[in-house]
């Protein structure tokens, strides 16, 4: 039951973009088309699960054991950057089509603060490794859900006559605010 609560909470109630405002830059920047939103969501899911696992292990078996937990943020940033680079290199050698499909999204993930935020939240919430991985995957799914919804709405808005001053980012911010309000409706699901 605990895992179901983590999943529902991370995807709907405490959505990383709409409730915690982490990862807003790629949320607004990559949400022009549904196809790119899906690619970014997949790449973020893969990297977030990998980063959550590795940063948890480093925190538990290195930083805490050596008494240098204060180095958490800088260590996690370096680990995430390293993981993204390694994933990029491995994908380039093993699967060229997958690398080309995710090519532009992988470097963007390095600067996605949602990845760092989730890694830190796993430690702050005292999750064990499995709970942390479930939380990371669920958070990535929630990020992808919000991103794809916004992309779908923005694609539809291209077909509508919108005032010149509202096109692009202004209207996207208004839509993101409305989405955040809509997702607040899920708050009563979990106590």
Res 151: pLDDT = 93
Q: List pLDDT tens digits, range 82-105.
A: 988 888 888 788 877 777 766 677
- Of the chain, the end-to-end C-alpha distance in Å amounts to 13
CA–CA separation, 186 and 14 (whole Å):
9
- Enclosing domain of residue 176: 2-189
Residue from 118, 110, 116 nearest 88 by CA: 110
Q: How many domains, in total, are found in the chain?
A: 1
Q: pTM score, two decimals?
A: 0.89
Q: List pLDDT tens digits, range 116-169.
A: 999 999 999 999 999 999 999 999 999 999 999 999 999 999 899 989 999 888
């Amino acid at each position: 039951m605990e895992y179901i609560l983590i999943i529902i909470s991370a995807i709907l109630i405490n959505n990383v973009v709409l409730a915690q405002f982490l990862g807003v830059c790629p949320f607004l920047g990559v949400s022009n088309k549904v196809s790119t939103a899906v690619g970014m969501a997949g790449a973020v899911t893969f990297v977030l699960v990998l980063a959550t696992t590795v940063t948890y292990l480093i925190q538990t078996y290195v930083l805490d054991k050596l008494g240098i937990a204060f180095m958490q943020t800088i260590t996690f940033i370096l680990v995430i950057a390293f993981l993204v680079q390694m994933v990029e290199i491995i994908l380039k050698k093993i699967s060229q089509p997958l690398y080309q499909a995710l090519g532009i999204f992988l470097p963007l993930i390095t600067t996605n603060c949602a990845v760092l935020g989730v890694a830190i939240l796993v430690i702050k919430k005292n999750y064990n490794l499995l709970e942390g991985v479930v939380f990371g995957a669920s958070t990535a799914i929630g990020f992808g859900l919000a991103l794809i919804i916004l992309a779908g709405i923005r694609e539809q808005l291209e077909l509508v006559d919108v005032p010149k001053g509202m096109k692009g980012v202004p209207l996207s911010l208004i839509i993101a605010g409305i989405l955040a309000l809509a997702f607040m409706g899920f708050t009563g699901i979990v106590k």
